[in-house]
Amino acid sequence: MAEAKADYLGQLNPPQKEGVVNVEGPCMIIAGAGSGKTRVLTFRIAHLIHEHHVDPFNIMALTFTNKAAREMQHRIESVAGGEAKNLWMGTFHSVFARVLRAEAGKIGYSSSFTIYDTDDSKSLIKQLIKESNLDDKLYKPNIVFNRISGAKNRLISWEEYQNDPVYLEDDIQNMRPDMGRLYKAYAKRCFAADAMDFDDLLFNTNKLFREHPEVLNKYQQRFHYVMIDEFQDTNLSQYLIARRLAAVRQNICVVGDDAQSIYAFRGADIRNILNFEKDYPDLKVIRMEQNYRSTQTIVNAANSVINKNTAQLKKSVWTDNQEGELIELIKATSDNEEGRLVASAIFQTKMQSHASEKEFAVLYRTNSQSRAIEEALRRNDIRYRVIGGVSFYQRKEIKDLLAYFRYVVNPNDEVSMRRIINLPKRGIGPGTIDKMVVAANEEGKSLWEVMETAVSYVGNRGGTQVQNFVTLIKALRVTDEKKDAYDTASQIAKTSGLLKELYDDKTIEGMNRYENTQELLNAIKEFTDNPEREDKSLGAFLQDVALLTDEDRNNKTDEAIALMTIHMAKGLEFSYVFIVGLEEDLFPSQMMLSSRADLEEERRLFYVAITRAKQKIFMSYALNRYRYGRLKNCERSRFLEEIAPQFIKVNRRFSSKKPASPSVNYVTKNFISSIKKENSTKKFSTQINHTPGTDFEPSDTSKLEKGMKVEHPKFGFGVVTNIDKQGFGKKASVDFEKAGKKTLLLSFAKLRILDE
């Protein structure tokens, strides 16, 4: 037994060993990136079984993925033997579904209750909206579902929701006063159906433990040790369950890293880890600060960034690894060129380092950014795979819009017609389509001909809707004959109703889908702006897309470059990491600049991106980026300024030396050039640490005058020294306290006037 003990304890450094052997009482292990937290959790459980002879039935270990649970259980078995199979280990939802199966009768459910997935829940909500005669444009199932989910994660029942003035006022402001009524109807219908959704599994576990102390006591006596992985990602509901279970023996161990808390939009509450010591005054805190993953340069650069956050548990992550190469910065004139330069850098690094494609990852803030990267990789015959989602051109919203494009170009395309004829909904069902197909076959006509006189085949109700659809397509075909690809595509997106439907959905998923459609339009704009293209029709663009999305070229094996959002990259590691799109309003996201808490979460996201890399990091940004069909001038991300200058360098080989895109007119280019000259004092060594207060709100700059004091969200406080209304746009010269003199285009600048 002593030999077995040495087998695993001998593999640990002192803090890791401390985390394994200190098994009694409350313990928090702050595990920095790459510090071996999975090994510590695994060996800690094995140590309890192997050395302390704890029955595995008395150990609960909670993770955030089933994959992590399976991997840990396999490792524990290799140390502690087959008894490890008896651990209560898994995700919060899987473990407490097991508890609820045994105790469901206490709260009115049967032990065979159904678990609704997200689609089931939204389908029920959709039916309830219909039954309630509510406007489905205001009460979208996605919006209602997310509202109910958020309330449950905060342990707000439908009764409490309906009596909470804050929720009620918020719903009235959002023109959805019946949200509480829908929550009640949804909860009642689920209960009547003997069903729980995913949020109910946690909500009802809390209810069970709160209302039935004898049940809580039963599980408190069963579980002598409670361990939680990725503790920074827990929400209130999850934390209260764990705290209740550990209340008797206080043997609770949480492992996490506050610097990697990036899921607030899913309900994660960083305060759980930041304030853990307040709940447990006798808490033992163990800091695992040695990074085994990355070079010294990467570790030190990451530290220099995350140290800017105020809400954090202090630690000093370090490594004994080699110093490594500097972070290389790639500057591109446009997002399209950014893709080309990134692809070139990947190819050359791969050749020079003899690296395989699976050692590379390209990380971005939003899914829509993948388009330019994907196209560049395809053109260079570099294999890639999109993690956590489908390829850009395979996403539903993109396929829907492309189907409209194809049908306008070719109205005999039955596959495209079937996809779009009732999208958005027009009251044309599959039965109507089937009748028209039969008629076309029987009379030897094309389906399009039958659709032109659909009333005579399927009756007035469905036929009128079909003929209205035909009229829409005919009008768009006229546009296609006269306009280029971008003008036609924009008209289709607007007239079809698809763009409005996506725009009206203000959920995170809805905004991502809308952003993806805008990115498709951006791609078409780049296509038509290219002076080397002779044929700028929509048909020519569709042919290009068809070649780019050839599945035979998109090899989906593991031997491929990984493309993913930074959120999806958490927990992964790669030898070479490319972080793209480092521009203000993109990363950090413009939706995350309203408060310090939001900005600090964005900074943690940047920290996660940096710490995915083992050997080398490339970062890139574009001077201009197509957004919403317009080429916009971009400002380099503040996060680049927060990296200590000794760890970063501009990559001259891969950075663009060309002027701005040809679609930018001469006046614009000269204005941008003058701004660059006036701002030439800006260097990477400049440390601009300004973070706006929670009350920051840009002012109407039409009132701006010389001598006024202003605040900029990045540059800080300054005084206006000059207002220039000549030339391209109105601009202001501002002397900032820390950033020095800057010239800002007021149509883009976000200035708060302090003298108002």
Count of CA atoms in the C-beta half-sphere (13 A) of 589:
19
Count of CA atoms in the C-beta half-sphere (13 A) of 205:
28
**Closest listed residue to residue 609, CA positions, set 590, 629, 637, 632:** 637
Beta strands in 229-368 (DSSP E): 252-256, 284-288, 327-334, 360-364
CA 447 – CA 421 distance, rounded (Å)? 13
Which residue among 17, 37, 603, 604 is the active-site one?
37
Task: Say which amino acid occupies 102.
Answer: A
Count of CA atoms in the C-beta half-sphere (13 A) of 322:
6
Which residue among 197, 199, 229, 375 is the active-site one?
229
Q: How far apart are the first and last CA of the chain?
A: 76
Tokens of 659: 């002027």
Instruction: Write out the H or E segment, with its range, that includes residue 397.
Output: helix 396-409
Let me know if 37 is a catalytic residue: yes
CA angle 393, 397, 402 (to 5 degrees): 60
- DSSP assignment, residue 587? T
CA 191 – CA 186 distance, rounded (Å)? 9
Length of the chain: 756
Tokens of 154: 């905060």
Strand 752-753 and strand 709-712: pairing?
Answer: antiparallel
Task: Say which amino acid occupies 79.
Answer: V
Q: Are 147 and 129 in contact (CB under 8 A)?
A: no
Question: What 3-state class would DSSP assign to 138?
Answer: coil
Which residue among 395, 612, 625, 731 is the active-site one?
612
Task: Say which amino acid occupies 438.
Answer: V
Instruction: Write out the H or E segment, with its range, that includes residue 440.
Output: helix 430-443
- DSSP assignment, residue 585? B
Report H helices in 51-157.
66-80, 92-103, 118-131, 141-153
**Closest listed residue to residue 417, CA positions, set 403, 428, 405:** 403
**Closest listed residue to residue 675, CA positions, set 631, 640, 629, 624:** 624
- Secondary-structure percent of the chain, ordered helix, strand, coil, rounded to 5: 50, 15, 35
Phi and psi angles of residue 561, each rounded to the nearest 5 degrees, phi first: -65, 135
Q: Are 371 and 397 in contact (CB under 8 A)?
A: no
Q: How many CB atoms lie within 10 A of CB 3?
A: 6
Let me know if 694 is a catalytic residue: no
Q: Are 647 and 327 in contact (CB under 8 A)?
A: yes
CA 153 – CA 199 distance, rounded (Å)? 7
CA angle 657, 659, 661 (to 5 degrees): 125
Cα radius of gyration (the chain):
29
Burial of 647 (0-12, 13-18, 19+ CB in 10 A): buried
Let me know if 260 is a catalytic residue: yes
Tokens of 169: 């006022």
Let me know if 612 is a catalytic residue: yes
Which residue among 63, 73, 234, 260 is the active-site one?
260
**Closest listed residue to residue 691, CA positions, set 642, 622, 744, 756:** 642
Q: Are 721 and 733 in contact (CB under 8 A)?
A: yes
Which residue among 7, 18, 38, 477 is the active-site one?
38
Let me know if 646 is a catalytic residue: no
Let me know if 230 is a catalytic residue: yes
Tokens of 521: 């339009």
Tokens of 442: 């029987």
Number of H helices, E strands in the chain: 32, 21
DSSP string, 614-675: EEEEEEEEEEEEEETTEEEE--B-HHHHHS-GGGEEE-TTTS--S-S-TTS-HHHHHHHHHH
Which residue among 171, 178, 230, 397 is the active-site one?
230
Burial of 401 (0-12, 13-18, 19+ CB in 10 A): buried
Residues recognised as catalytic = 37-38, 229-230, 260, 612
